Structure 1
């Protein structure tokens, strides 16, 4: 589908992402991630920048966005420390967009007003910050 085509589902997601009470860099990252515009090894291999697309952390799976930020086995210890992300064990995602849709839909449940998405430890981990 052309990026200029109207798609109510995607446009609704964009509105929810851009409407999040979070830092602009978090919203921008989510927007780029949903568009699969993050330079993962999988994307770099597809664009013939790299030859290998295996995750350097676990050496077990292709490093796409879902794997790099969500399902890599070496992330388990990070996720297990965060109670708001416990749904990780219950839900799987094939595309990062599905993860973002799930989190944005459940934002109140997982983050609540006292801990918005921008203050989540995992989001800070994604951006190299600590609380």
Structure 2
């Protein structure tokens, strides 16, 4: 995760310290400060991240409540003040602007870029994973004495867990099978329609999960179909396998 970089980026944007074409012209590094995307206005921080016609579609779904006329006549810091009218939207706003800035740099360098219609989805995915890591670290710190136990030498241990995604009406399943040395034999992550309350209660009653299956279940939000890994887990989950091992 690059959360520290995003905070640093936001500080630079608010203090007008980003290397926009407008600032580069003020420093006499370049002669032209017009936005190369719309060719109508100088490329300031506000223009590059919010006001350019080429990126306005990114903000429509989640930030339509912001007065665009008011925002366009101020600075990026003024825009941030408007966002803070709904504080819970600040993190998403920060991640989207960071994605847009990174995308703009790649466009300038003629590199492959994320399509604009995917920016918000990927920003939300990034934010969800960041929150998941934060929660998992908190769980690990609170449960330092509650480690996963190895099965006996002739057996395997299967752990499973579920996660509810109320915003999409779906749920995630995570299953991990490990041998007596804690090695992963198989791992599964699947997204399914949200189960009924009775089914959910039955799953909770039978639950014997560990952190790995919990993360696999939550990771299913970003799966388009069943994902199965044999003798391994996805790379971003491997750290938690080690954290769950406990050799008695």
Match of 2:54 in 1: 74
Match of 1:92 in 2: 71
Distance 1:120 1:42, change over 3 A: closer
Following superposition, the deviation at residue 118 of structure 1 comes to 7.3
Q: Is 2:56 the counterpart of 1:44?
A: no
Higher strand share: 2
Query: Which whole-Å CA distance do the structure 1 matches of 2:50 and 2:11 have between them?
Result: 17
SS in 1 for 2:40: coil
* Root-mean-square deviation (Å): 2.6
- The higher radius of gyration belongs to 2
Contact 2:25-2:31 within 8 A present in 1 as well: yes
* Consecutive unaligned residues in structure 2, runs of 5 or more: 104-113, 123-248
TM-score by length of 1: 0.65
May I ask how many residue pairs the two structures share in their alignment? 103
Distance 1:45 1:85, change over 3 A: same
Match of 1:15 in 2: none
* Consecutive unaligned residues in structure 1, runs of 5 or more: 1-21
Pick 1 or 2: higher relative contact order, CA cutoff 8 A, min separation 6.
Answer: 1
Query: Which whole-Å CA distance do the structure 1 matches of 2:47 and 2:18 have between them?
Result: 13
